[in-house]
Amino acid sequence: MAQEAALTALATLHQAGHSAWLVGGCVRDLLLGITPKDFDIATSALPEQIFTLFPHAQLVGAHFGVVLLSAHLEAATYRSDLSYQDGRRPSGVVFHSDPSHDAARRDFTINALYLDPLSGRSLDFHGGRHDLQSGLIRAIGDPAARFAEDHLRLLRAIRFAARFGFTIEPATLAALTTHAPSIRRIAPERIHDEMRRILTGPRLDLAWQLLSSTGLWAALVPEAPAGSTLARLTPPASLPLAWAALLQGIPSPQNIFLRFRFSAAERRDTLFLLHNQSSLLAYSTLSLPQQKRLLRHPLFPNLLALHLATHGPGPTATHWLTQQTRWSHSDLWPTPLFNGDSLIARGLPPGPHFRQILARLEDLQLTNPHLTLADALTILKL
C-alpha cells in the first residue's frame, strides 16, 4: 500500500518537473530484501510546491518542512542542516535543488542511498551499496563530528548494527566510544525510544556487546551492575524482559524507570520480573496456590526466560517446566464453586469481605482440585 503510494507520488513529482527519489531506510530495506515500514521521498520540490501537488498533505511537527503525504509516506525537500546547537537538532535547514547535500547530512552510508524504482536508477554518494553488501555501519564524513553534532546517532549506530547483524566500521566505532558519555545530554524519552528498538530487535548478543564495549551502557546507567544477561536472552524479547535482564541486581530500578520515563505498564512488568526471580528460586517454599498463581501469570514465560538466561538450566528450571506440563488450564484456573451472587443467595450481606472469601475459595480449589461445594462451605464456615 505505502509502496504503491510512494511510487505514485514519485511519478507525480517527476511529471511536474521535479527531481525525486526514495531515500533512507526504505531504500536500505528494499536492497536488503526487507519490506519497509515507512517510505521517505527526497525531492527538489519546495514544501509549497509539494502542497500544490498533494493538497491533502500535512506538515510534520518538529521537522523543518517535512510533509506527510499519506500514512507511512513522507516527502522532504533536499536539504542541508545548519549548525547543531543542542547535540540533537540543527538550528535550521537550507533547501537545495540537488540531492548531494541531502545525502551528506544523513547519519550512515547505508541510510543515504537514493532509488527510483520506476527507472531502476539509484544514487550512492558515500559508498552505501558497498557497505550494505559488506555489512558495515559507517558514519558519513568525520565520525567524531557527526556524533558530536547529534548524540542520538550513538544509539542509532548500535541499533542498526544489531538489527542487521552488521559490524561498526573501526573509525566509526572509535568515535562512538570516545563520544559515548555525550549520550547523557539526549532527552530521556528519545533514549527510551531508541533502547526500545534495540532491545526488541533480533540480535541481543550483538546489542549487548556494543552497548557495553563502547561504554554507552555505563554512560546511560552508571549504577548498573553488568547487564550481560541481556546477551543470553533468546530474541525477540519483550521490552520488560530485556530491561529486567539489563537491570538485574540494581539497587533501585525505580530510579531508572523515572529517569527514562517508563510507562506505568513497563514499570509494573519490569518490576514483576525483577521481584519474582527470587520466587522462582524459592519454589520449594511456595504453596501450591502460590506456584499456580505464578505459573498462570501472563509474564510467566518471561520470568522463566530471565531465570534461564541468568542461571541456565538446572533444578529450578526443571521444577517449573515440569509443573507447567503437569497442570492443565483448569488446574490453574478452576471454575469457582460459588460466586458473590451465591453468597447473597445464602443470605450474606454483600461487602468487601466477599473478595476475601472468594480468594480463600480459590486458594482451596488451587490446593485441592477435587474440592466439593459442601467441603468448601464447611471449611469457610458459611
Question: Which residues contact ligand ATP (rule: CB under 6 A)?
Answer: 24-25, 38, 40, 106-107, 111-112, 150, 152-153
29 binds Mg ion (CB under 5 A): no
107 binds, among ligand ATP, Mg ion, none (CB under 5 to 8 A by kind): ligand ATP
* CA atoms of 309 and 307, how far apart (whole Å): 5
The Cα–Cα gap between 214 and 219 comes to: 9
Q: Which does 74 bind (CB under 5 to 8 A by kind): ligand ATP, Mg ion, none?
A: none
Considering only the stretches 37-45, 122-130, 308-316, 357-365, report the one whose residues sit in contact with Mg ion under the rule CB under 5 A: 37-45
Cα three-residue angle 82-87-93, rounded to 5 degrees: 20
Q: Which whole-number Å values give the CA distances from 258 to 250, 253, 301, in the listed order?
A: 14, 9, 26
Spatial separation of the C-alpha atoms in residues 209 and 307, rounded to whole Å = 20
Alpha-carbon distance 294 to 292, whole Å?
Answer: 5
Q: Which of 18, 21, 25, 153 binds Mg ion (CB under 5 A)?
A: 25
Residue closer to ligand ATP (CB basis): 155 or 245:
155
365 binds, among ligand ATP, Mg ion, none (CB under 5 to 8 A by kind): none
From 29, 38, 124, 205, residue interacting with Mg ion (rule: CB under 5 A)? 38
Residue 152 interaction partner, one of Mg ion, ligand ATP, none, beta carbon < 5-8 Å per kind:
ligand ATP
HSE-CB of 134 using CA atoms within 13 angstroms: 12
99 vs 253 by CB, closer to ligand ATP = 99
Q: By C-beta, is 30 or 53 nearer to ligand ATP?
A: 30
* Distance between CA atoms of residues 318 and 296, nearest Å: 17
Grid coordinates in use for 214?
Answer: 563502547
Least CB distance from residue 165 to Mg ion, whole Å? 19
By beta-carbon proximity to ligand ATP, the closer residue of 37 and 355 is 37
Q: Which does 112 bind (CB under 5 to 8 A by kind): Mg ion, ligand ATP, none?
A: ligand ATP
- Helix, strand, coil % in the chain, rounded to nearest 5: 55, 10, 35
Any idea what the Cα angle at residue 267 is, between residues 249 and 320, rounded to 5°? 60
Give whole-number Cα distances, 228 to 183, 204, 209, 249, in Å: 20, 10, 8, 12
Which one, 187 or 226, has the nearer CB to ligand ATP? 187
Give the nearer residue to ligand ATP in terms of CB position, either 176 or 271.
176
**Between residues 38 and 124, which has the closer beta carbon with respect to ligand ATP?**
38
Alpha carbon of 329 to those of 286, 291, 334: distances in Å?
20, 14, 8
CA-to-CA distance for 112 and 75, rounded, in angstroms? Answer: 15
In the complex, what is the shortest distance from the CB of residue 150 to ligand ATP, in angstroms, rounded to a whole number? 5
Residue with the shortest CB distance to ligand ATP:
25
Per partner kind, with CB cut-offs from 5 to 8 A, the member of Mg ion, ligand ATP, none near residue 201 is none
CB of residue 362 vs ligand ATP: minimum separation in angstroms? Answer: 45
**Phi/psi of residue 12, each to 5°?**
-60, -45
| Residue 150 contact partner, candidates Mg ion, ligand ATP, none, CB within 5 to 8 A by sort of partner | ligand ATP
Q: Which is nearer to Mg ion, 73 or 309 (CB)?
A: 73
Q: Which runs of E-coded beta strand occur in the chain?
A: 20-23, 39-43, 58-59, 66-70, 73-77, 79-81, 93-95, 113-116, 121-124, 136-137, 167-168
Choose from Mg ion, ligand ATP, none: what does 153 bind? Cβ within 5-8 Å by kind: ligand ATP
Q: Which residues contact Mg ion by CB under 5 A?
A: 25, 38
